[in-house]
Amino acid sequence: YHGRVSPAGTSAAELGTALSMIRVLLWDIDNTLLDFPAAERLALQAAFRDFALGPCPEDRVARYAALNAGYWRQLERGEITKAELLTQRFQVFFQQEGLPCPDPAAFNRTYQDYLGETVVFLDHSDQLLRDLHPQVKQYAVTNGSQRVQEKKLARSGLGAWLDGGVHLGDPGGGKAQPG
């Protein structure tokens, strides 16, 4: 289930038959275990406050989210590197919004700090991982910012129920980085 960790109302105990055949589960962190759009909105608004850029209403968040998603699609197609994504997205966003931000790289670091600190669970994913923990091996798999994802797992407590993680790095841009 993309974006859902289990059918509504289904507990790990009810999945017993299926689980007897499953030995390992790989979980994407964003939009499977954690609500990325909610964290993105809160992190962006907090960074705007820190940089005294004025309000960051929902329509501005939506424009950023669309721009950011486009950059991630470019990364997936191998058209840009993750480093380019992380630096260019805020340069372009501030230009499009007509906002003065003398240091988009510093803004990105602040945004990523807030993103890593913001935890919003999807579909009781914390309880599901806890219930499944003794029955199957579970690993987090991500292509997101490794620093942000590690922070999310630690802050959310999900790391306690996972057996490890794999950072995939840039698609087509080198080897996956374990951890």
Give me Rg for the CA atoms of the chain.
18
For residue 90, give the nearest of 150, 43, 57 by alpha carbon: 43
Phi-psi map region of 42: left, alpha, beta (phi>0 left; psi -120 to 50 alpha): alpha
Strand-pair category, 164-167 with 137-142: parallel
CA distance 109 to 145: 11
- Dihedral, CA of residue 87, residue 118, residue 67 and residue 125, to nearest 10: 130
Q: What residues are labeled active site?
A: 28
CA distance 107 to 35: 22
